Structure formats: structure tokens, C-alpha cells
Amino acid sequence: MNTYQLQVVENTNKKEKPVKDQVPFGTTFTDHMYVLEYETEKGWYDPKIVPYGPISLDPAAMIFHYGQTVFEGMKAYHTEDGRVLLFRPEKNFERLNLSSERLSIPALDEKLALEHLTALIKLEKDWVPKTPGTSLYIRPYIISTDANLAVGPSQTYKYMVILSPVGSYFPGGLQPVVIHVEDKFTRAVKGGTGMAKTAGNYSSGYQAQANAKKEGNADVLWLDGVEKKYIEEVGSMNIFFKINGEVITPELNGSILKGITRMSIIELLDTWGIKVTEKRMSIDELYEAYDAGHVEEVFGTGTAAVISPVGELNWKGKKMIVNNHEIGELSQKIYDTITGIQTGKIEDTLGWTVEVK
């Protein structure tokens, strides 16, 4: 990794920041972005913070044709005492490299990536919104840039980071959602790319999601690609169940994303003396537990929402109403604790936050 000195080109034409902190997710971007280049012969080189603006690519750039790309999603939070915190960012860079391995993309230096991210956020500190529930969404991503239509790994890449202030995911408090259990379309399968955060995993779900929305569902619960039987993920989140006092989440099997919120909840609950059972769980098993009156809470977990309670599941015409469409006690407690740690309201005894200094 040569030529690794970070250069900063400051934007002299700064944008106005959103007046309210309730901007739609992912549509407003800050004044600067980070760019790092890769060539096979040089490795990663030329790290730069530059004014946010369009990127210019050859129409034959591989990203447009063969989808060799990975990304991450994370957030920076403002604390009441004016600090800016990141939540376990090293886990995101670790996962980015895991995703890259699956997509035959060269690995980043995780330590340097975090250093440069910190430099970018420091420069954009005023963009981290302050209203409770808001944050600065961080999108690191790598695209393949060779102008070459031969199917195969690119020799050149761009790693970039863009930042977007985001409003509260639940401006009116946690709202349980209605979810369709998808039994036709498949998100991922063993041996595929399900465990990687790569573009193709997302658009492949649009058709199922559109169908589900037509029937009044907010999103879909994905079942495994082999038997359409085992529970995998909800929308682009991991999923947890509280059944007869036991907390259960599907085990990481190669087709489920290794969520950092998922991991944090398992660790957090451990400190509370609650064991999370990671196992293969069938949708039948869930409905049987429901019929027996044992399904107490269901919630999705991810960076965007932290916790998204599920109030209703619809599977082949069978409706499951969870906790009377209300948020469960444990869901709320996990949400309050994790967001509390993220925003510095609760002491971070687990060493999860990294201050941007």
C-alpha cells in the first residue's frame, strides 16, 4: 500500500444543511466524500477527501455489467455533550473485507480505512444531526472500474465513502410492522452471496417486496432457498424471536448476513444473563409456537432501525399477530440500551463506541 498519505481537497462551495433533521433516508449528502483507488500493480493508493460530486466512469466499467461490488452501512451519532460516536466501526470494515473476499475484490487495510473514515467525519462534524433519533449515515463501498466486458475480476477499483444525515427511523416511537412470509422468491442460498453485503442481494428482493406491499405488508420475511422452510432474514435485517421466554435467532449459515446489530444484541443479552439460541428454525415451528400461545416478541435488527418490531406475520394466508401489534418489553429495552450506548446516554461498558476526535 504505497502513496497512502491522505490528501484533503476542501469544498469551497458548501451546501446548506437541512433545516429540520427529518430528511428522507439516503437522499441528502454532505460536502465531502472519500476516494481511494486500486490497481493490481500498485495496490490501494491515493486516498483523498474531495468535494462530494459526480464520478465519471467508462460506459464499459465492470460495475455496470457484472456487479463486482460490496458495501457497508454504519452511523455516527451526536451525544448530548457534543461528542461524535461511531458504533463498532471495526466490525464493519471486517465484514467489508469478508464481503470483498466473496466477490474477489482485494482487501482494504481495516485500520487505515477506519483512520481515514474518522478524518472524513471529523471534517463533516457539523453534518452529524443532533435531534434525538437522528444520525449521520455512513456508506463505504467498493466498485470495479475496469473498462472491460470480459467476465472476470476487475484490475482496478474505487473505494469510496459518502455520508448522509438521516432522520429518526421511527419519528413517532417504535412502530411494529406487518411482514409477508415469502414462499416464492429467494434472497440467497448456500454457496451463493447471501453472507456478503453486495449489490445483487438487494435488487433481487424488489419484486417480492413490491408484491408484499400490494397486500399491505411493509416487507418480507425470507425463507431458505432450498426448502422454503427455514427462517433467514426480514427485509434487509436479521430477525429475533422471543418464544416462551427463550430468545432465538437463525444461525449464520452462509446465506444470512452477519449483522453487527445482531451480534451486539447477542452480546448485550449475554451481559443480562439472557442466552440467545442461534439455530435453524422452521416457519412451521414458529407457527406451532404461535398456536400454542408462546410467541411473545418478534423483531428485525439492523443499522438503519436498530430494532424494528414485527406486529404481524402473513404466511400462506395464516396471520400471526404478535403481542397485540405492540412493541414487546424486551424489544424496547434492547432498543433503548443500544441507542443509549450509541448516543452516549448509557455508559458504554462493552467498549463498543469509538469517539471521532
| Residue 223 CA: distances (Å) to CA of 10, 182, 187, 264 | 47, 7, 8, 23
Residue 70 or 295: the one with the smaller Cβ distance to its own copies is 70
Candidate ranges 84-92, 170-178, 201-209, 317-325; the one touching its own copies (CB under 8 A): 201-209
Q: Min. distance of Cβ 188 from its own copies in angstroms?
A: 8
Candidate ranges 95-103, 240-248, 257-265, 277-285; the one touching its own copies (CB under 8 A): 95-103
Task: Evaluate whether 108 touches 100 at the Cβ level (below 8 Å).
Answer: yes
Q: If binding is defined by CB under 8 A, does position 107 make contact with its own copies?
A: no
CA distance linking residue 250 with residue 240, whole number of Å: 8
Residue 161 or 327: the one with the smaller Cβ distance to its own copies is 161
Q: If binding is defined by CB under 8 A, does position 66 make contact with its own copies?
A: yes
Residue 279: which of 243, 322, 226 has the closest Cα? 243
Q: If binding is defined by CB under 8 A, does position 316 make contact with its own copies?
A: no
Task: Evaluate whether 197 touches 159 at the Cβ level (below 8 Å).
Answer: no
| Residue 87 CA: distances (Å) to CA of 84, 186, 193, 323, 338 | 10, 31, 25, 30, 10
> Please, what's the b/e burial string for 6-41 (b: 16 or more CB within 10 A of its CB; e: otherwise)?
eeeeebeeeeeeeeebebeeeebbbbbbbbbbbeee
Task: Evaluate whether 245 touches 185 at the Cβ level (below 8 Å).
Answer: no
Q: If binding is defined by CB under 8 A, does position 120 make contact with its own copies?
A: no
Q: If binding is defined by CB under 8 A, does position 149 make contact with its own copies?
A: yes
| Residue 56 CA: distances (Å) to CA of 47, 61, 82, 158, 347 | 17, 10, 37, 11, 45
Q: If binding is defined by CB under 8 A, does position 168 make contact with its own copies?
A: no
Total residues interacting with its own copies, rule: CB under 8 A? 70
Q: If binding is defined by CB under 8 A, does position 165 make contact with its own copies?
A: no
Residue 205 or 311: the one with the smaller Cβ distance to its own copies is 205
Residue 188 or 327: the one with the smaller Cβ distance to its own copies is 188
Q: If binding is defined by CB under 8 A, does position 320 make contact with its own copies?
A: no
Q: Which of 141, 157, 159, 335 binds its own copies (CB under 8 A)?
A: 141
Is residue 315 classed as helix, strand or coil in its secondary structure? strand
Q: If binding is defined by CB under 8 A, does position 26 make contact with its own copies?
A: yes
* Cα 313 off chain centre by: 22
Q: If binding is defined by CB under 8 A, does position 36 make contact with its own copies?
A: no
Q: Which of 186, 238, 249, 342 binds its own copies (CB under 8 A)?
A: 186
**DSSP H stretches of helix in 163-316:** 200-203, 206-214, 260-271, 283-291
Q: Min. distance of Cβ 329 from its own copies in angstroms?
A: 29
Q: Which of 87, 127, 159, 185 binds its own copies (CB under 8 A)?
A: 185
Candidate ranges 14-22, 134-142, 241-249, 326-334; the one touching its own copies (CB under 8 A): 134-142
Residue 307: which of 260, 216, 237 has the closest Cα? 237
In DSSP terms, 276 is beta-bridged to 247
Q: If binding is defined by CB under 8 A, does position 68 make contact with its own copies?
A: yes
- Give residues in contact with its own copies (CB under 8 A): 24-27, 29, 33, 52-60, 63-69, 71, 101-104, 137, 139, 141, 143-144, 147-153, 160, 162, 164, 184-193, 198-207, 209-210, 225-228, 235-236
